[in-house]
Structure 1
Amino acid sequence: MIQLTTSGEESRLTLHEGSGELGHISFRVLPKTSIAVAEHTRVSPEHQGKGIAAKLAASFFEHCQSEGLLVRPVCSYIVAYMERHPELEVLRAPEEA
């Protein structure tokens, strides 16, 4: 199950299995904007290579799209994910925003 938690400006999408966390994406929405800054993707070492990061990234982009957010990819995984999925370019925030 993927769960969204928010604390102030910081948000996290976390993938859980049973009582354990498999991985998460940390992001924040810039104040007074509709820009989500994807800061970090982490997958537990024992679960790497199983598509966990891709599931989290897909959920992150679905969340941003449903909330009307543009994405500023800072996290190297999210940058690479966007390169592999050119259809997501419509969600990329302009650099000057």
Structure 2
Amino acid sequence: METKIETTNTGGKVLVFDGEEIVGRLEFSFDGNVMSIDHTYAFKKGMGIGGVLVSAANDYAVSKGLKVKPVCSFATAWYDRHPQFGDILNSAS
């Protein structure tokens, strides 16, 4: 699976491809230096797509020096399972 990140001034999305097919999408928005993970969609089940999406968004946030606010329930659960990234979570989340 491959990921692609597209951004604008107000947010963006992470896309996951299985070959030519889009199999997942994550939407995020920016509020200053905080990136909110708003929605996570996996179009195929049982492939770990959700984890790939949140991991790619997390890597993007780390590379840009952003804090993360997991809004969607999947992202919240992902961060609960990956406490090593707790330092980048927005303390107001």
TM-score in terms of structure 1 length: 0.88
**Cα distance in 2 between the residues matched to 1:6 and 1:66:** 14
- Corresponding letter in the other structure for 1:68: G
Task: State the partner residue of 1:15.
Answer: 16
Q: 2:27 matched to 1:26?
A: yes
Question: How far 1:93 sits from its partner (Å)?
Answer: 0.6
Q: 2:4 matched to 1:3?
A: yes
Structure 2 gaps, min length 5: none
Divergent runs of 4+, >4 A: none
SS state of the match for residue 80, structure 2?
helix
Q: Match for 1:69 among 28, 43, 66?
A: 66
- Corresponding letter in the other structure for 1:78: A
**Cα distance in 2 between the residues matched to 1:94 and 1:51:** 27
- Corresponding letter in the other structure for 1:23: G
Q: Match for 1:55 among 52, 57, 60?
A: 52
Question: How far 1:18 sits from its partner (Å)?
Answer: 2.6
Question: How far 1:9 sits from its partner (Å)?
Answer: 0.9
**Cα distance in 1 between the residues matched to 2:19 and 2:48:** 17
Deviates more, 1:79-88 or 1:15-24: 15-24
Whose Rg is larger? 1
SS state of the match for residue 47, structure 2?
coil
* Cα RMSD after superposing both structures: 1.3
Percent identity between matched residues is: 24
Q: How many residues align?
A: 92
